[in-house]
Amino acid sequence: MSVPVRVPEVRARSSLRRVLTGLAAAVVAVVLGVAVFGPALAADPELIVGLPYTGPSAANPLGTDHSGRDVLDRVLAGGQPLLLVPIVATVLATLLGLVLGAVGGYFGGVADAVVSRLDNLLLGLPPVLVLLVLLHGWGYGAATMTVVVVLTGTPFVSRVTRAETMRAVEDGYVVAAYATGDSHLSVIVREILPNIVRPVLADFGTRLAIAVTLTAAAGFLGFGSSGPNWGAMISQNVEGIRLTPWGVAVPAVLLGVLTVAANLGLDRVVGRVLR
């Protein structure tokens, strides 16, 4: 198949693409800014300022929610809980998955059998079920959400790490390091990890997006802390959507931008840093 080359169109498309990329980055920056600095800018988000489900006004630019609280203040205050816990939990899941996968892939035998069985067991559990069972036992909290994200995220990291480690073990530089008398730990940390870190981190952004989704889902299902949370706002205000859509629309769009940015943007950033 021959491909006609049309230079002007390509150039036009690439400049359009640059504009779009810039716009996307600006939108993401605004959403991140709201999530990080919003709580400092918001007035008391629990204050009842008027009737439930009123439309935008000068005093309440986005109207009020199902309890007559200011939607804008709750939007400003409701992003932060979706950032800190998911980031910490995803980092923990990645580290744990790296250790388990490297141990299983490097040593093989019993260690590998244990790691593989554990991975398969955890992969068979639907994340929402894990979320609900732990909420049942412990209630909502940073610790609960961290454990949920670690339990559901670790097996994915561990599987990739295990496969990559098994491949790297055969490589000449690993055999050479071992032959010169390096310890197992030293071989794993100094020879294998640097060479497998790229494929393992390739979908860090995807896993962070899943962690944000799970945390928001806990709020959405009504288990979050009583404080504002974009996920919870959607389910709380959906009943009044005909009266005023802003209590659903604004947190939904912000949450959507956050997860898409984590999924797409972070993968690109990680890829660029590791290149």
Identify which of residues 106 and 230 has a Cβ nearer to another protein in the complex.
230
**Residue written as token pair 């609280």:** 69
Identify which of residues 74 and 169 has a Cβ nearer to another protein in the complex.
74
CA pair distance 225, 202, nearest whole angstrom: 32
Q: Binding segment for another protein among 41-49, 163-171, 185-193, 211-219 (CB under 8 A)?
A: 211-219
CA pair distance 155, 125, nearest whole angstrom: 11
Identify the bridge partners of residue 48 per DSSP, sorted by sequence position: 69
Q: Binding segment for another protein among 37-45, 67-75, 169-177, 258-266 (CB under 8 A)?
A: 258-266
Contact between 209 and another protein by CB under 8 A: the answer reads: yes
Contact between 234 and another protein by CB under 8 A: the answer reads: yes
How many residues in the shown chain lie near another protein by CB under 8 A?
Answer: 42
Tokens of 87: 């980031």
Q: Using CB under 8 A, pick the residue from 217, 228, 229, 236 that binds another protein.
A: 217
Q: How far is CA 123 from CA 96, 145, 190, 192, in A?
A: 15, 18, 30, 25
Q: Binding segment for another protein among 35-43, 55-63, 159-167, 212-220 (CB under 8 A)?
A: 212-220
* Shortest reach from residue 24's CB to another protein, in Å: 11
Q: Using CB under 8 A, pick the residue from 198, 256, 268, 274 that binds another protein.
A: 256
Identify which of residues 13 and 190 has a Cβ nearer to another protein in the complex.
13
Identify which of residues 99 and 118 has a Cβ nearer to another protein in the complex.
118
Contact between 132 and another protein by CB under 8 A: the answer reads: yes
* Shortest reach from residue 224's CB to another protein, in Å: 13
Q: Binding segment for another protein among 55-63, 159-167, 171-179, 230-238 (CB under 8 A)?
A: 230-238
Contact between 124 and another protein by CB under 8 A: the answer reads: yes
* Shortest reach from residue 264's CB to another protein, in Å: 6
Q: Binding segment for another protein among 64-72, 89-97, 103-111, 240-248 (CB under 8 A)?
A: 240-248
DSSP, residue by residue, the chain? ------HHHHHHHHHHHHHHHHHHHHHHHHHHHHHHHHHHH---TT-B-SSTT----SSSTT-B-TTSBBHHHHHHHSSGGGTHHHHHHHHHHHHHHHHHHHHHHHH-HHHHHHHHHHHHHHHHS-HHHHHHHHHHHH-SSHHHHHHHHHHHHHHHHHHHHHHHHHHHHTSHHHHHHHHTT--HHHIIIIIIHHHHHHHHHTTHHHHHHHHHHHHHHHHHTT-S-SS--HHHHHHHHGGGTTT-SHHHHHHHHHHHHHHHIIIIIHHHHHHHHH-
Contact between 275 and another protein by CB under 8 A: the answer reads: no
- Judged by the rule CB under 8 A, the positions of this chain that interact with another protein are 120-121, 124-129, 132-138, 209, 212-213, 216-217, 220-223, 231, 234-235, 238, 241-242, 245, 248-249, 252-253, 255-256, 259-260, 262-264
